[in-house]
Amino acid sequence: MNTPGPTRPNSYLARISAGEQITLRKIRNVNLRQHAREALRAFRPRKPWPSSVHDKIGVLFTAVENRSNLFSQIHPRDKSLVAICVRLAAYSADWVRQPDSWRPAPVLSPIAQLADLIRHLLACYPMSNVLTSVWDLGGALRCRERDWFGRVGRGESASKIRLPATLSRRALAVLGDAPSQMDFRGAMRWAQIKTLGGSDRLVAAILETYSGLWFDQDEFWLPLFEMMAADQRSDVSYVGLLCDYLHYLRRQEQPAVRLRGRSLDSLVATSRKGWVRLLKVAAGYGLQMDLSELAAPTRRRQVINLLTTEWHCWLDLEPWSMVSKYGDSYRDWQLEELCTQRDLALEGKEMHHCVASYGGDCLSGTSSIWSLRVIEFDGRSVRKATIEINRRQRRMVQVKACWNEPIDDDAAKVISRWAMANRIDAANLGNISQ
């Protein structure tokens, strides 16, 4: 009979989840200290969790921290163990064993220990490491993939809980044989394509496209994958161009190319012509790229994100204009929020700075980017400044003129009046524009 190993009197993470304040600098292990920092953010007082999480997270943290080296050997950048534990606690009603009875083998690696913990809690039968990766998925605490894991782990027939609906019984039968480095969604796509007769190279090429890990439009993609698998050509370089171009058409709600009656060669030719057109449009926004560069998935995503990414404008701030005296005449100033990646790219191209790289901050709602322009006497609109606002704090972060130069006094006066009218903190306008 195995006897419990030595147990430390306290679990830092369990104390944090219970609301106790911990001095992080007292935690000597760097990785454990970073996990504690993650726990402090996750269990801050104003963040509510379901009762199942609060009831079980303490005992789970204690078992993991005291009986394994997970928190001490894995950095949160490599795997967010706090988030995984919270997800496991949310499924505590489905646990088949309790955390305090877990005894990981000392020879196991930290990742293998984590998979062993998940199987200990939720599986009565063997489950491959590929399947345990469902606990890495972000989003809602409870999701279909984790529901599926728990039900299969308890012995229910996988064919009765198909996930997604387009995953056939044959695909479910080989799902556990997917390469161990794949995550759960990648393994599902691998199983689908392998049952269609596709090669490993075809699977790898499809997983690099937008269609690789999303299953909500499989009624369109599976016939295409079946066509690719039947073709059996060794060169799969066409896959990325074809799949991502069709994804672009569907994302733009344009009628997609019909597959019925089309050969694979004609579809590939159509996608190449389409990419040539898209590259010409992208060049107008300052993104210069050759067709040969699109072999890299990141380059294809760069083009598609430029042409399709949009975000919600700041609802309580509207485009603004004012007239100022300029010598014996007047100047018309305009301030407009930039709400698409195309707008940012064009602003960066004409102002010769890197504002195009702020699309992610705008999409997440962290920043709001504004462009200050002046209408000249001949009717031309001239860009004078680019402004970044921290939306949560309503604070002006930076203001730059062309080539990241400081703005002139006239532009500063206009921006100051606009900020005052919209209750935006511009107290350090003189400093941030330098």
d(CA 282, CA 171): 39
pLDDT at 158: 65
Read off the pLDDT of each residue in 239-268 and give the average, rounded to a whole number: 87
Instruction: Give the closest residue to 215 by CA, choosing from 237, 248, 193, 198.
Output: 193
pLDDT at 159: 65
* Range in 45-49, 85-89, 354-358 with the lowest mean pLDDT: 45-49
Percentage of residues of the chain with pLDDT beyond 70: 94
d(CA 373, CA 336): 8
Q: What does the domain layout of the chain look like in residue ranges?
A: 320-432
pLDDT at 328: 66
Percentage of residues of the chain with pLDDT beyond 90: 65
* Range in 143-147, 235-239, 263-267, 360-364 with the lowest mean pLDDT: 143-147
* Range in 20-24, 63-67, 115-119, 238-242 with the lowest mean pLDDT: 20-24
Q: Is the pLDDT of residue 3 over 70?
A: no
Residue 153 vs residue 344, higher pLDDT: 344
d(CA 84, CA 89): 9
Q: Each residue of 128-162: pLDDT tens digit?
A: 888 888 999 888 899 888 988 888 888 887 667 76
Q: Is the pLDDT of residue 377 over 80?
A: no
